[in-house]
Amino acid sequence: MMGIILGVASLVGMSALVKGMENGMREAMQAIGGIEKVSVIQQELPPNQSHLSDQVVGITMSDVEALKKNATLTKLITPEMNLGRGGVVSRGKKVFRPWNISGTWPNALDMNVHKIEHGRMFNEIDDDLARNVCVIGTEVRDQLFGTFEETGKDIIPIGEEININGQLFTIIGMFTRYESEKQKKEREYQLANPSPERLGPERRTGWGRGGPGGFAFMLKNSTIYMPLNTMWLKFRASAGTNNIPDPTLSTLNIRISSVEELEAALQQARNVMMSTHFAMEDFTFRTQENWDENIRAQVNNYRWSGGIIAAISLIVGGIGIMNIMFASITERIREIGVRKAVGATTFAIFIQILIESIVVAIIGGILGVFVSYGLVELLKILIPTDNEPVITLWAVVVSFCFSVLVGLMAGIQPAIKAAKLDPIEALRYD
């Protein structure tokens, strides 16, 4: 019985842990836009077109317009121009190189799953007038204005001016702080339980934290957005030819309406762009399918390895039930004899013992499900900084059914033994 309880509890608990891990992994993917987001990126011409390489136009606003008009399976289109790693921001004496300084459209908020916490996003008018306004991530704030830990307060730098590559920009909005559940829990845990002060010289102690996918949030926090036209006119002017700023987009992100239509949507977008690129295939698509598959594969691996180990403990529990049933029928040989004498068939006795065994397993299974909730609560206390384990109904149902199955299997042998008893011998037994 105990074995069944613990077996079911460990099966449910294990699957809850894996589910928590899966949630953690999916979080990062959602944070960068989910699997529906596809990036159109530039690539070398294929070998058979390489003689045309001086005619390629790259990905430009004309692609954006064409896709907007013709690619019906595409829900959202966001052009982006980046400063790349050359971008430097400064304020007073503080200097910082953000991961990403982009000129984009206001709908980038939607595309890249950004959320404004303070101030506002720039709008179409800001874009039309190419205003020097920007929206920053919390990491930029931390670096230029000081972190919460340093200053003891949450600085909201709306209206402040910062210097981006020599141009003054007004901060009109700030994103919320992006972090995984795990990072958030770690940070809260750190706040509640500050680590003891280290002795000796100041040093960096590692590569940060947050587990797999944590980098996605780090990069996202280290972002500055400005209107696309501002970027184009203020920073691309020197790079262009023929007196106009370089019109090439760094990235073009599209969002398709559903994953099921991925293939069709990509084909459609490709057709449209082949026309604007005069059949020169100097672009390709980057999806998150691999990432998604990796998560699936990893979760599957954990689920199976953990599941098999937990299942073994359930089977051990089943052997326990088998022993209980053997002991029980030895105690009740006389009862079985009496039942046979008053007309119980072999089959009736077999079924009776089998049902008793299953009932034991069912009770064990139910208790096991309760214990598993306790187990998960315990895990939450023991590992407060990890992804929260999540009990799914599916796991509960599967574990419970498995425990019933184990009870059935465990009951068969004792039931056969009981059914085979000779009524005369059984009645004589003391």
* Interface contacts to another protein, rule CB under 8 A: 334-335, 337-348, 423-424, 427
Nearer to another protein, 226 or 419 (CB): 419
Q: How far is the CB of 421 from another protein (least distance, A)?
A: 11
Nearer to another protein, 201 or 343 (CB): 343
Q: How far is the CB of 335 from another protein (least distance, A)?
A: 5
Nearer to another protein, 212 or 423 (CB): 423
Nearer to another protein, 19 or 339 (CB): 339
> Can you read off the two tokens belonging to residue 3?
């074995």
Nearer to another protein, 341 or 401 (CB): 341
258 contacts: CB under 8 Å, gap ≥ 6 = 36
C-alpha separations of 389 from 12, 14, 209, 217 in Å: 10, 9, 19, 21
Spacing of C-alpha 384 from chain mean position: 18
Nearer to another protein, 309 or 348 (CB): 348
Q: How far is the CB of 346 from another protein (least distance, A)?
A: 6
Q: How far is the CB of 304 from another protein (least distance, A)?
A: 43
Q: How far is the CB of 340 from another protein (least distance, A)?
A: 7
Q: How far is the CB of 313 from another protein (least distance, A)?
A: 31
Nearer to another protein, 319 or 424 (CB): 424
Nearer to another protein, 194 or 343 (CB): 343
Q: How far is the CB of 351 from another protein (least distance, A)?
A: 11
Q: Using H for helix, E for strand and C for coil, what is the string for the chain? A: CHHHHHHHHHHHHHHHHHHHHHHHHHHHHHHCCCCCEEEEEECCCCHHHHHHHHHCCCCCHHHHHHHHHHCCCEEEEEEEEECHHHCCEEECCEEECCCEEEEECCCHHHHCCCCEEEECCCCHHHHHCCCCEEEECHHHHHHHHCCHHHHCCCCCCCCCEEEECCEEEEEEEEECCCCCHHHHHHHHHHHHCCCCCCCCCCCCCCCCCCCCCHHHHHHHHCEEEEEHHHHHHHHCHHHCCCCCCCCCCCEEEEEECCHHHHHHHHHHHHHHHHHHCCCCCCEEEECCHHHHHHHHHHHHHHHHHHHHHHHHHHHHHHHHHHHHHHHHHHHCHHHHHHHHHCCCCHHHHHHHHHHHHHHHHHHHHHHHHHHHHHHHHHHHHHCCCCCCCCCCHHHHHHHHHHHHHHHHHHHHHHHHHHHHCCHHHHHHCC
Nearer to another protein, 347 or 394 (CB): 347
Nearer to another protein, 52 or 348 (CB): 348
C-alpha to C-alpha distance for 340 and 364, rounded to whole angstroms: 30
Q: How far is the CB of 387 from another protein (least distance, A)?
A: 49
C-alpha to C-alpha distance for 354 and 351, rounded to whole angstroms: 5
Q: How far is the CB of 294 from another protein (least distance, A)?
A: 57
Q: How far is the CB of 342 from another protein (least distance, A)?
A: 4
